[in-house]
Each structure stands twice: as C-alpha cells, then as structure tokens.
Amino acid sequence: MPKIVDHDERRLELVDATWRIIAREGMEGATMREIALEAGFANGALKPYFPTKDTLLEFAFSHVFNRTNRRIADVTGGRSGLDALSAFCLEVLPLDEERINEARIVIPFWQKAVTDPGKAEIHRQSMEEWVDTIRHYLAEARSSGDVRAAVDDSLLARQLLNMLLGAQIEAALAPPGRTDFGHAAQLEGYLALLRC
Amino acid sequence: MPKIVDHDERRLELVDATWRIIAREGMEGATMREIALEAGFANGALKPYFPTKDTLLEFAFSHVFNRTNRRIADVTGGRSGLDALSAFCLEVLPLDEERINEARIVIPFWQKAVTDPGKAEIHRQSMEEWVDTIRHYLAEARSSGDVRAAVDDSLLARQLLNMLLGAQIEAALAPPGRTDFGHAAQLEGYLALLRC
C-alpha cells in the first residue's frame, strides 16, 4: 500500500519542518502557513495530513518521545541495573546539538500543556513510562547489590526524572552553540550517591 | 513622593493581573488588552507603566523570582548547612496552590526565553544565584560533617537545582487541584543520600 507509506512519510516531513521552526523561532513562529512553506507544501495542502495545528503539535511531540525511546532501546539492549540506567539517562539528557534542539521543542510543548489537558496527559503518560523504566533498573541494581541507598526507589526514580527534566530547561535556555553543561558528570555523581 | 509609590503599586497590580491570566489561560491569553481589563485599567492606560507586553513579562518574572527570594530569606534566617538547604528547597518546590501557580507562570516564561536572549539571561542569572546559595549551604554542611558524599559540591548543587526545576514542570502540568507530588519526601530522600 504505497499510498499509506507516502502519507506517513509526508506527516514526518511536516513534523521535521515544525521542529525546525519551533527550535529557531519558538512556538509562535510555527503557523500552518510557515510550516507549509518550510516543508515545501502549498499553503492549505497540510489539511489532509493534519487538520489543525494542534493535531500536528501533538503528533510532533509524540514523535520526539518515540524517537527518544527508540534511541533508548538501542543503547540499553542487553544491559541491566545501573549500567542500563546510566545509558537511559545519557540518552535523555541534552548532551548534543540534536537533543538540545529536542529540548527547545519540548519546552513550548510543556507551555501549551499548562492550559491544555490533552497535551498534559500525553506528557504525564510519557513520564510515567519513564518512571517505570527507571524503577525497573533500580530494582535490578538493588538485587545485584549495586544500589544500597536507604531511600525508597519510587522517590529515587522521581528525583532522577525531575533532574533529567530540569536539564532540558538549562540546555534550551543556554546561549546558542553551548553544548556542555556537565550533565554527564552530574549523572555520574548521582549514581555514585546511589551506590552508598 | 507619593506619585512614585503609586506608580510602583500600579505596576504590581498589573503584574498580579498578568499572573492570574497566564495561570488561567496561558501566555497567549495575556494580551495588553486582557491585562488592562483584568486589572481594571482602561484599554491603552498600561503604556505609562509598561510600554510593551515584553517589558511587563520581564518585570513580572523578576518579581516572582524576588518574591520567592524574600520567602527564602524569611525561612532560612538564622539557619545554616543542611537545615538551611532544606528550608531553601522547600520554599522553591511547588508545595502549595500559590507556588503551583508560580510554576504555571514560569513555564510560559521559559518558553519565551527559548527564543529571547534577554529573558534567557534573566533566567540564567537567577539560577546562578541559586547555585551559589546551594553551594554555600553545602560547604557549611561539609564543615559540620553533615554532608560526607564523595561527589563534588558543584555537581551536587546543579543536580539539586535541576531537580527543583523539574518539579515545577510536574506541578504545572498536573490535573487541576492536585497539590501533593511527594516533592518534600523526594527532597528528604536526596538529603539523606548526601549524608552518606
């Protein structure tokens, strides 16, 4: 069914165009007209793919989240415990240009979500998935004796998740071109605390 | 000079009106017209106080930051080390309705800051002040032997700051009415890690 593949590919082209505009000019710049222009579509030709800007933005955010999760699956495959947890966090942290751009996209999405229950729910579900992932690795690390901290894993998981989210803000609001925020060293330091 | 006091008071009234609108409807709802309406000003009467929406937003954000810092000064007075650090963090964390509303204001500000270097600079300066505060308390806690973690204080300070920022996102994107996110327990757990 080549038609369907084509439809999906075009949706991804539009998502990419949206990202580029948001990362460059912020959410306000991403009008349907600008997105069409950036993606090389005729004005009005977006409707069959995304009837509204809102459906496009929700799809775009879910796609960032899915893409991050695919990268996570690649780097955590065959690993467990603290080793897997470290790989997971290093993939979420904004350690390079691509992921700093993702941070610049996720903040406008959060801003929308503050007053849009549907988007807030997408965010919360994504974060619950990540909390579960972190807890799973922590449980493995407890079994192997790598984590001995006398603090409940559910508290540790949410601590760590909030740290990862805060890092997105730091990276997205940094002067252009800056890519080193010491986040990898911070993570290493945090994992050292858990080993106590 | 009663005229000047009056001018300052009116600016704060406008800031309060802006906050109420942003917390309720998001940044898009906060037009100069809506702000005037909410504050009981005639349309166009804002200009002498804030020539543009941008100057108003920057002043409003600085005011949230200053207000938080005044609360921090109140609760940390006479304290030091981990005790002061805990009081500082409990004041920054979104633990009640008022501070959840502040979180709902700060996220739209961050979104603006992603593509506005002036606002990003205000954010960075505020965060550097807080990192310095955290490091100061950590140094005191080292001297008294309360913190023994074998991780550099500058890493710990930025970890903790990112955790506090991430907590704002969680609170601002939660369903309305929810005020307990376990942030106080997370903080307690984190401070327990530092005591190791």
- So what's the ipTM on this one? 0.90
**What is the average pLDDT across A168-176?**
95
Q: Are B109 and B119 in contact (CB under 8 A)?
A: yes
pLDDT at position A145 is: 97
Residue B189 to residue A149: CA distance in whole angstroms:
9
Question: CB–CB of B107 and A104 under 8 A?
Answer: no
Copy the structure tokens of residue A6.
Answer: 């084509």
Residue A128 to residue A151: CA distance in whole angstroms:
20
A5: pLDDT confidence band, cut at 50, 70 and 90? low
Task: Tell which of A119, A159, A164, A190 to mutate to test the B interface (max B CBs under 10 Å).
Answer: A159
Question: CB–CB of B151 and A111 under 8 A?
Answer: no
A3: pLDDT confidence band, cut at 50, 70 and 90? low
CB pairs under 8 A between A and B: 143
Q: Are B129 and B122 in contact (CB under 8 A)?
A: no
pLDDT at position A23 is: 78
- Please state, rounded to an integer, the average pLDDT across all residues of chain B: 92
Of all residues in chain A, what percent carry a pLDDT higher than 70? Answer: 97
pLDDT at position B191 is: 97
Residue B5 has pLDDT above 70, yes or no: no
Q: Which of B50-64, B121-135, B180-194 has the lowest mean pLDDT?
A: B50-64
Model's pTM, two decimal places?
Answer: 0.91
Return the residue of A nearest to B103 by Cα: A114
pLDDT at position A91 is: 96
pLDDT at position B51 is: 92
**What is the average pLDDT across A77-93?**
97
CA of B34 to nearest chain A CA: how many angstroms apart? Answer: 17
Of B186 and B55, which is predicted with more confidence? Answer: B186
CA of B43 to nearest chain A CA: how many angstroms apart? Answer: 24
Q: What is the phi/psi pair of residue B16, to 5°? A: -60, -45
Task: Tell which of B89, B169, B188, B191 to mutate to test the A interface (max A CBs under 10 Å).
Answer: B169
Segments making up each domain of chain B, as ranges: 1-51, 53-195
Q: Which of A81-95, A114-128, B22-36 has the lowest mean pLDDT?
A: B22-36
Question: CB–CB of B193 and A104 under 8 A?
Answer: no
With a CB cutoff of 8 Å and minimum separation 6, the contacts of B128 are none
Residue B4 has pLDDT above 80, yes or no: no
Question: CB–CB of A150 and B192 under 8 A?
Answer: yes
**What is the average pLDDT across A182-196?**
95
Task: Tell which of A169, A190, A194 to mutate to test the B interface (max B CBs under 10 Å).
Answer: A169
Question: CB–CB of B159 and A164 under 8 A?
Answer: no
Question: CB–CB of B175 and A117 under 8 A?
Answer: yes
pLDDT one-digit tens code per residue, A104-136: 889 989 998 998 998 999 999 999 999 999 999
CA of A131 to nearest chain B CA: how many angstroms apart? Answer: 12
Classify B53-195 by CATH class. mainly alpha
Q: Does domain A1-51 have CATH number 1.10.10?
A: yes
**What is the average pLDDT across B22-28?**
80
- CB contacts, 8 Å: A107 with chain B: 107, 110-111, 114
**What is the average pLDDT across B177-192?**
95
Q: Are A193 and A149 in contact (CB under 8 A)?
A: yes
